[in-house]
Structure formats: C-alpha cells, structure tokens
Amino acid sequence: MTVLVAYNDSPQGEAALRAAAAEAVRRALPLAVFVLTPLEGPPQEDPPLPPDLAHLLDALPVGTPAATVTYREARVDPPVAILDEAERLAASLVVIGSRKRSPVGKFLLGSTTQRVLLDAHAPVMVIKAKH
C-alpha cells in the first residue's frame, strides 16, 4: 500500500507531489514518485534525481516519508505507464496533476488524466496547480 504520484517538471507536477506527500503523511503510507519524463540514454541502475525533483523532495515537510523514485520508459504512453506502476505497487491512492483544457483540446489530444481516472483500480486524486 503506497501513495503514488505521477510527477513531471511543471506547476501541476509540483502541486501533485505536495498533495501526495500530505496524503502519505495523513495515511501513514510510503510515498512513491513516478517521473513521467523518461531518462535519456541507456538504462541506469540508480539514476540521479532530476534537480527540480531533488529540490522539491528536500523541501517537503518534516515527517514526510522518504520517497522511492521510478521513471517511465520512453516507449510506454504516460497513462499506461501510470496505471502499470499503480498496479505494480498496489497503490492505495494515485495522485496526478492536471491543467485546464478546453473540451475541444481534450477531444483532439486525449487526456492522461481522464484515462487514469477511468481505468485505475485505486482512487485517483487530481490536483490543479494554483495560477
């Protein structure tokens, strides 16, 4: 049982990470960060954290459980990767960030958020960044 956050370097990703950390503390569960930006180059055993993520993790409140960090494979679409990671971890909660899109934009481009909401076996918390 884990709180899984799908993270990318954006205001939405930062807001999702902060919300997931608060939920992990509240639920007394481990925190897992799933980085949506794939690593470049050959697979690494213990890749370095992206600087933006390292900074955010260091700034989380005291008492936040140490986070495990995994990365999306470049060949896997983000919604499929999030759903697979949630299944692998038997996540108790999936937290994702979302940005506002027009109805036409959602229709033409698809929506990672919508796909995860519809297909996840665990509850999903969607967080919008403050403007």
Q: What is the mean pLDDT of residues 36-54?
A: 84
Element (H, E) at 127: strand 124-128
Share of the chain above pLDDT 90, in %: 71
Which region among 31-35, 54-58, 116-120, 127-131 has the lowest average model confidence (pLDDT)? Answer: 127-131
- Supply the angle between the helices 78-89 and 112-119 in degrees, to the nearest 10: 30
Mean pLDDT of 76-104: 90
Distance between CA 3 and CA 102 in Å, rounded?
Answer: 29
Task: Please give the backbone phi and psi of residue 93, each rounded to the nearest 5 degrees, phi first.
Answer: -155, 140
Residue pair 98/127 in contact by the 8 Å Cβ criterion: yes
Q: What percent of the chain is modeled with pLDDT above 70?
A: 91
Q: What is the pLDDT of residues 95-118, one digit of tens each?
A: 999 877 666 655 544 588 889 999
**Mean pLDDT of all residues in 116-129:** 93
49: phi then psi, degrees, rounded to nearest 5: -70, 145
Average pLDDT, the chain: 89
Q: For residue 110, what is the DSSP state?
A: -
